Amino acid sequence: MGINWGGRSFSLRRRPRFLRGPFMERPLDATPIATNRLLLRPHRLHAADAEAWHFIVNEPKTREFLEWPHRDRHASRRHLEHRTRHVRLWQADDFLALAIELDGVVIGDVSLHVRSTEKSNRSAEIGWLLDSRHSGRGYATEAATAMLALAFDVLEAQWVTAIVRTGNLRSAALARRLGFNAVAAGEEHDAFLMPGLTWDEHGREARRRYGVDLGPAERSISATTSPVRILAEKIL
């Protein structure tokens, strides 16, 4: 993806690591998170996952709202391969993508994008994507709740944003259902925001309802150990 300005083109790809500012106190590494009905885990290049991913990325709604091109099998596999590498949050622009697995089958993806790392100002953007054949059963809500727990309880984000393309009603409804507030409407996108305080109010109930347990007590773990890894070991 890129933009043109004054006859020059600029890439919107991630900046090189050395230009991305300070690291957080510790990295957050992707490890599996179990919820009541789902398993969130890093993407893999297995044949079954590649097949599921090929279907998901080519769904018309997915393509429309994420502005994704049609991907043939080779391209969707390469896309999935990129996703398998997004397993650590440590610096601005880092991206964590987890497959949403239901009964052993990949049915979607939830992600977090670190936008700023400074502790008092830390923020992340959440993303979600579901195989439409599994829509309407609360799976996206359940998976996103686990990602919010990760963002607020482990990453210690001060707020989380969701950027939704105008007209993407299911995505906007999901943001509202999770407790986000619409804060800005652009020509093409609407911005939703959830401050940590809102999560403090709703998080306990959300975690209870969806079986997510990434308790704040886990925050004070030593800098060399990934808190998510320890939590996953407890859960699985």
Ligand X SMILES: CC(C)(COP(=O)(O)OP(=O)(O)OC[C@H]1O[C@@H](n2cnc3c(N)ncnc32)[C@H](O)[C@@H]1OP(=O)(O)O)[C@@H](O)C(=O)NCCC(=O)NCCS
Which residue carries 């609407």 as its tokens? 190
Task: Tell me phi and psi for residue 221, to 5 degrees.
Answer: -85, 150
Q: Report how far Cα 32 is from the mean position of its chain's Cα atoms.
A: 14
- Any contact of residue 62 with ligand X (CB under 6 A)? yes
- Any contact of residue 141 with ligand X (CB under 6 A)? yes
The amino acid sitting at 163 is I
- Any contact of residue 53 with ligand X (CB under 6 A)? no
28, 92, 174, 206: which one contacts ligand X (CB under 6 A)? 174
149, 164, 214, 231: which one contacts ligand X (CB under 6 A)? 164
Q: Say if CB 116 and CB 66 are below 8 A apart.
A: no
- Any contact of residue 129 with ligand X (CB under 6 A)? yes
- Among the candidate windows 17-25, 92-100, 168-176, 196-204, which touches ligand X by CB under 6 A? 168-176
53, 128, 152, 192: which one contacts ligand X (CB under 6 A)? 128
- Among the candidate windows 12-20, 43-51, 130-138, 196-204, which touches ligand X by CB under 6 A? 130-138
- Any contact of residue 168 with ligand X (CB under 6 A)? yes
Measured from the CB atom, the residue of 24 and 174 that comes closer to ligand X is: 174
- Any contact of residue 137 with ligand X (CB under 6 A)? yes
C-alpha distance from residue 23 to each of 19, 90, 108, 180, 233 (Å): 11, 6, 29, 27, 25
β-strands 105-116, 95-102 pairing: antiparallel
Q: Say if CB 184 and CB 156 are below 8 A apart.
A: no
Task: Tell me phi and psi for residue 94, to 5 degrees.
Answer: -65, 145
**Cβ 12 to ligand X shortest distance, Å:** 16
- For ligand X, the binding residues (CB under 6 A) are 61-62, 65-66, 128-130, 135-141, 164, 168, 170-171, 173-174
